[in-house]
Chains A and B, each alone.
Chain A
Amino acid sequence: MTMLRLYLLLFRASVRSRMQYKLNFLLSSGLAAFINLMEFLLIAIILQRFGDIKGWSLYEIGYLYSVLLLSRAIYRILASDVHHIEKYLVGGELDQLLTRPIPVLLALMTQNVTILLGEVIQGTVLLVLCFQGLLAAGQIGWLAIPQTALVILAGSVILFAIGLLSATAGFWLTRVRDLQNITEDAARNAAQYPLVLYPGWLRMILLTLVPVGFANYVPALYILRGEYGPWLLLVSTAAAVLLLWVSFRFWRLGLSRYQSAGS
């Protein structure tokens, strides 16, 4: 409980620092939204022209896309500098966090918090549009809304865990940006689209090695198409919990190795 209070305090302080640069904040928010919009526009144009991709409609792909976008936004807002650990390892700033009487991860999560307003707005708008379309077509019922909320939360935990695992690799590699490029950026890019598109080996990777598939595709199979059964939601929540546990263990291992090996 005290941890949560401390987290909120540090989080608020960090946001306040950021808000010193309001123009910068608004500009980068607007820009992020613009870039994401372009990206989605591309796939929307293809779907507009050809109708569907392997049976997945524009609404369905928009759903996959926006759910993942929102999950990622939550992860990156609540645990911002976990992704930027390289800076701390290279510049030695991690040592400073270690002199504080709080867990290092907590300190790292609350450094330079950025409110990704652009992503949140764009993701929400897109999700609402897709919901309307899918509800109007009778493909989903109102129950899908709370289910989706659960999926987004579980998804943010999954993305956080993958991010933490990649960041922890930095204790061995120091330069970790390029690894994150694969485990976070490339993997997320792939999971924005239905995994049926990919050959077996890639689908396998996205469900085991870098299991982003559980963040949106797996639960969407049930929510949007009623395939398999509601236990799919359970599977992705379980995957989230399991990954979180593994990533915490790995983080602790990495930190102790940092302290015993130094760099």
Chain B
Amino acid sequence: MIEVKHISKRFRTPLVPEGRFAGVRALFSRKYKEKVAVDDISFCIGQGEFVGYIGPNGAGKSTTIKMLTGILHPSTGEVAIGGRSPHRDRRHVVRGLGVVFGQRTQLWWDLPTRDSYDILAAMYKLRERDKARKLAEMNDLLGLGEFMDTPVRKLSLGQRMRADLAAALLHDPAILFLDEPTIGLDVIAKKNIRGFLKTINRELGKTILLTTHDMDDIEELCQRVMVINHGRLAYDGSIPDLRSRIGLPTVIRVSFREPLPERLETDGAPFSIAGRNGLELTLQCNRQDIPAMDVLRHVSQWGEIADVHMEEPAFEEIIHKVY
């Protein structure tokens, strides 16, 4: 579906001269500073995949998305969407894409929501029948009915995002690019949007590329993550793989019924004691090396266990490690 081969993007920004009449000289200055925003990235995304694309601000995420959607052209390398280049064939390619930018809407601000769909349908040359069918389908999934006749500027952020998603899907694109679709939403609205995205991916088979800063989005939705940093692809694979590769420890907190001996021996077992506070022990282990049950069996030699509490490494911390 999406094939990216060795794309790079370099920006030239004019250097602002210093000193007297700097502003005037800037008009004629020909000195530039080159910045590499995206550096030799390649990947393939197959039909029906749900891929998270993450990285810190300024890492090159949105530049990549812009090259995939034909907004920008890569300095070197090739992009093919369904076999066509969005660079040479922009208008044809974007017909098969749905794009949502969480920060701004693609709807007509002052018009009732319904009107935006009419306009978009004309832009994408949809037949009346197809439009009605698609809208009915979207209405089932997103509950558009309650605000169809409200001007977009009066919608709440959650409603607006639903309306925007419906707009991006109206022309039934096979591929969806989502740029922070849950930004600024409350917990319930986020949950609704995630449920919707899951449905259109699993049941309608849409291919989705999602960028976000919300790690819960990624963890809940994506089968695959790509991490970009400093313009380079730092990781491309599944979430469990990412977890184990970084190897952040699982933390186990154990409280005992009776005081523990002074010296505690691990006897070479692959876990460590991170803290000790009265009757409570904090242990760390990597579950690739030793199952949690084995750790517990081992420490039960030291005394009777009263309670156990286990913490998986937070996804967010994993990501920090990759950056």
Binding site for B on A (CB under 8 A): 2, 5-6, 9-10, 13-14, 16-18, 20-21, 93, 95-96, 98-103, 256, 259-263
Contact = CB atoms under 8 A, between A and B. Distances in A.
Contacts of A18: 110
26 contacts: A2-B125, A6-B122, A6-B123, A9-B119, A9-B122, A13-B108, A13-B115, A17-B109, A17-B110, A18-B110, A95-B71, A96-B101, A96-B106, A98-B70, A98-B71, A98-B94, A99-B97, A99-B99, A100-B106, A100-B123, A101-B95, A101-B124, A102-B91, A259-B72, A260-B73, A262-B63
Contacts of A256: 73
A contact face: mostly helix, strand, loop, or mixed:
helix
Contacts of B104: 93, 96
B300 interface: no
Interface residues of B, number: 34
Given A95-B71, A99-B69, 6 more contacts: A93-B104, A98-B71, A101-B94, A103-B91, A259-B70, A260-B75
B245 interface: no
B66 interface: yes
Contact of A260 (B72, B92, B106, B119): B72
A85 B166 CA distance: 28
Given A98-B71, A260-B72, A17 B11 contact: no
Q: Which of B92, B97, B104 has the most CB of A within 10 A?
A: B104
Contacts of A13: 108, 111, 115, 119
B12 A101 contact: no
B151 interface: yes
Interface in B96-126: 97, 99, 101, 104, 106, 108-111, 115, 119, 122-125
B106 A95 contact: no
A101 B91 contact: yes
Contact of A95 (B66, B108, B109, B111): B66
A259 B9 CA distance: 11
B191 interface: no
A47 B219 CA distance: 77
B6 interface: no
A196 to B, nearest CB: 33
Contacts of A260: 72-73, 75
Contact of A259 (B12, B71, B106, B115): B71
Nearest to B93: A101
Interface of B: 9, 11-12, 37, 63, 66, 69-73, 75, 87, 90-92, 94-95, 97, 99, 101, 104, 106, 108-111, 115, 119, 122-125, 151
Contacts of A262: 9, 11, 37, 63, 66, 72
Contact of A99 (B11, B71, B110, B122): B71
Q: Which of A20, A21, A95 has the most CB of B within 10 A?
A: A95
Q: Which of B9, B119, B124, B151 has the most CB of A within 10 A?
A: B119
Given A260-B75, A262-B11, A20 B110 contact: yes
B161 to A, nearest CB: 15
Contacts of B123: 6, 100-102
A17 B94 contact: no
B119 A99 contact: no
Contacts of B71: 95, 98-99, 259
A261 B11 contact: yes
Closest 7 CB pairs of A and B: A17-B110, A98-B71, A99-B99, A101-B95, A260-B73, A259-B73, A20-B110
B73 A20 contact: no
Given A17-B110, A95-B71, A261 B12 contact: yes
A13 B118 CA distance: 10
Contacts of B37: 262
A16 B99 CA distance: 25
A260 B12 CA distance: 11
A13 B9 CA distance: 37
B281 to A, nearest CB: 53
